[in-house]
Amino acid sequence: MTNPDSPRHIEVSDDGEPVAAAEVTTSAGADGTVRASLHAQAGHITPGRRASLVDAVMDLPEVQASKRIEAAVPLGDSESLERLRERTEAAVTRPAGSTTLLDADIPSGSQPGPGQDPDGGTTPRSPLPTGSAGVEEADAGELR
């Protein structure tokens, strides 16, 4: 696992080109607060890619070990905002310039989330549209 205070960079690509990215920082120690800044390229992005970015962020072990998330999402990015609301509890949003800020609780790992049934198994999610898509992550210090 990476140092909790060092930011992680996650990218979602479409046909080998990055289309959405996030910087994620967790506070020191377990049960802290996660801060995430999500952004996407201008123009059309294949539906489902922004939701994939949110899933990649929420599935990070250090995010799962945290209690709260503070996320900054571009104003009008309804796909990312909706997915964040699905993956969190007690979400509160507010506008801040060209950004929407979301504060929410992260459900404990024992609670079923989207795509999981109450027995702990997974239910199939709708597949992403066709095309080559990928999620990459790296410590921010590794990116030059």
The model carries a pTM of 0.74
User: Phi and psi for 70 in degrees, rounded to 5?
Assistant: -120, 115
Q: Is 132 helix (H, G, I), strand (E, B) or coil?
A: coil
Partner residues linked to 102 by β-bridges = 71, 93
CATH code given to domain 8-107: 3.40.630.30
Between 16 and 69, the higher pLDDT residue: 69
Residue 109, pLDDT score? 67
Question: What letter does residue 5 receive in the DSSP assignment?
Answer: T
pLDDT at residue 3 greater than cutoff 60: no
- Condensed to tens digits (0 to 9), the pLDDT of residues 100-143 reads 999 999 998 633 444 544 444 433 333 343 344 466 555 444 33
Q: How confident is the model at residue 46 (pLDDT cuts 50, 70, 90)?
A: very high
Residues in Cβ contact with 103 at an 8 Å cutoff, skipping those fewer than 6 apart: 68, 69, 70, 91, 92, 93
Could you tell me how far CA 35 lies from the centroid of its own chain?
10
